[in-house]
Structure 1
Amino acid sequence: MASFHLIRYAGLDAARHMAFDRPVLRGTGGLRFWRLLGTGKGRSMSLGADLRRWALFAVWDGESELECFLERSPVAARWRDESEESWHVRLMPLSSRGGWGGADPLAAATAPPRATPPGPVAVLTRASIRPRRLVAFYRSIPDVDRLLHRQDGCLASIGAGEWPLARQATFSLWDDEQAVGCFAHRTAAHRDVIGRVRREGWYSEELFARFVPFGSQGAWDGRDPLRPVRE
């Protein structure tokens, strides 16, 4: 299974935690893959950074290992004690293709192909952008960003990155699989960008994964975006 954690700190010195957390995460039992991510100011990847908000994407051996981390890790303790806002969600992988650091971290955790269950879907995309394609990539973002703001069925979305400019990701929540498909295939701006990505070879590596989100807790911009769905 996987998890996604979004933490907003009260002060601008939050970046120091990125360095201090790494050795702790490396020694966390049952944590098979993780990435600490800075976040953007918009709903998609952008040049602007929110220096107070950071994210963690993690893949676990099982839910018990995640629970142990949340209860006992000094990283999670600081989230509780020092954050202004935090949001956590458990993720059951449905499908994954591509790579992150040379391999698909979700390959062993993804369920065999089957119909997506009804209800909300989480989507993670990430890419390593070729340096010569950075200008084209960032010129394409504003149209997609505006589309996300008004897209029906998008519950929440955030742009993130593990390395400034060239290694970028998005995490988004949707009403259902149909809403994901409408955005991906039926909106001209997004179709055009995807077409250019393929034709012009913008990425040296990319990953696209879908999940069933469950067990969410906390707040993301003042609310839990999955709560209206559950209620």
Structure 2
Amino acid sequence: MQTVTLSLFRFDRALTRFWVIGQMGAARFVLPRVDGLNFWKLCGSGTGEGFTPKPNWGTWAILAGWDSRAQADAGLQRAPFSQWRARADESMTLYLEPYSARGQWGGAQPFAPVGGPDGPIAAMTRATVKPARALRFWGRVPDISAKVGADPNIIFKIGIGEVPLLHQVTFSIWPDAETMAAFARRGPHAEAIRAVRDEGWFNEELYARFRITGSVGTWQGRDPLAATKTQEAA
């Protein structure tokens, strides 16, 4: 079964920020040689929680797909993952299993869905924004971000991207599929979805859902999945 990992890294110092910018190029030569790695993307982030067009030079991410959990565990101990963790002021890796995916990323479907939702779930939306629609898109995002941030049910959220302004990924964790679906059907998010369809904002889209199978590390000083792990233990 495919395992997907999202590794987040925070770099607070100027020297390490310059270093990781260089690694965005250097890591492209290393990642193809990591055993069991079938998909990877190097991403930056926006300010705040990532849902803005202004770059955040301190937060970076590696999204990876692995042939198995064992290969993910082994691969994450190798460069570039180990190097980034060693230099980061904070890091966290989320382990995911895809159960639903539609659309494409770079002309292909990178995820191999199996089964159905079980407990907390993650939602990932990836889009290539048409340059002519970028201003309209970013005009909608702050309102959507505010609504997501105000939703008491959301467990975790971040926005990342491959190319500033044009290649965007939103990632969020919810208690269950029903809660996530209820949010998607109302307010600015629902309006934006209708606009995407009616006005053709994107050249390419991918919508994927994942089971959460584990996490390592902290983000903003805490484990965002701590409450769900406590419930599972009980």
TM-score by length of 2: 0.92
| 1:1-231 pair list within 5 angstroms | 1-11=3-13, 12-13=17-18, 14-43=20-49, 45-71=51-77, 73-106=78-111, 109-112=112-115, 114=116, 116-117=117-118, 119-185=119-185, 187-231=186-230
Shift of residue 17, structure 1, vs aligned partner: 1.5
CA distance in 1, matches of 2:156, 2:47: 13
Residue pair 1:37, 1:55 contacting (<8 A) in 2 also: yes
Residue pair 2:11, 2:87 contacting (<8 A) in 1 also: yes
Partner letter of residue 204 of structure 2?
E
Q: How many residues align?
A: 224
CA RMSD of aligned residues (A): 1.2
Shift of residue 193, structure 1, vs aligned partner: 0.6
Partner letter of residue 15 of structure 1?
I
CA distance in 2, matches of 1:168, 1:156: 17
Residue pair 2:127, 2:204 contacting (<8 A) in 1 also: yes
CA distance in 2, matches of 1:7, 1:54: 5
CA distance in 1, matches of 2:168, 2:32: 22
CA distance in 1, matches of 2:135, 2:82: 40
Change (3 A) 1:122 1:199: same
Change (3 A) 1:33 1:159: same
Residue pair 1:89, 1:213 contacting (<8 A) in 2 also: yes
Aligned identity (percent) is: 37
Q: Which moved more, 1:198-207 or 1:34-43?
A: 34-43
Partner letter of residue 227 of structure 2?
P
Structure 1 segments, 4+ long, off by >6 Å, are none
Partner letter of residue 72 of structure 2?
L
CA distance in 1, matches of 2:182, 2:31: 37
Question: SS of 1:74's equivalent?
Answer: coil
TM-score by length of 1: 0.93
Residue pair 1:44, 1:145 contacting (<8 A) in 2 also: no
Residue pair 1:43, 1:149 contacting (<8 A) in 2 also: no
Shift of residue 161, structure 1, vs aligned partner: 0.7
Residue pair 1:152, 1:179 contacting (<8 A) in 2 also: no
Partner letter of residue 223 of structure 1?
R
CA shift digits 1:48-94 (9 cap, x unpaired): 221011011111111121111122x1212213321100000110111
CA shift digits 1:20-48 (9 cap, x unpaired): 21111121111111100001123353112
Question: SS of 2:105's equivalent?
Answer: coil
Structure 2: 5+ residue stretches without partners:
none
Residue pair 2:50, 2:56 contacting (<8 A) in 1 also: no
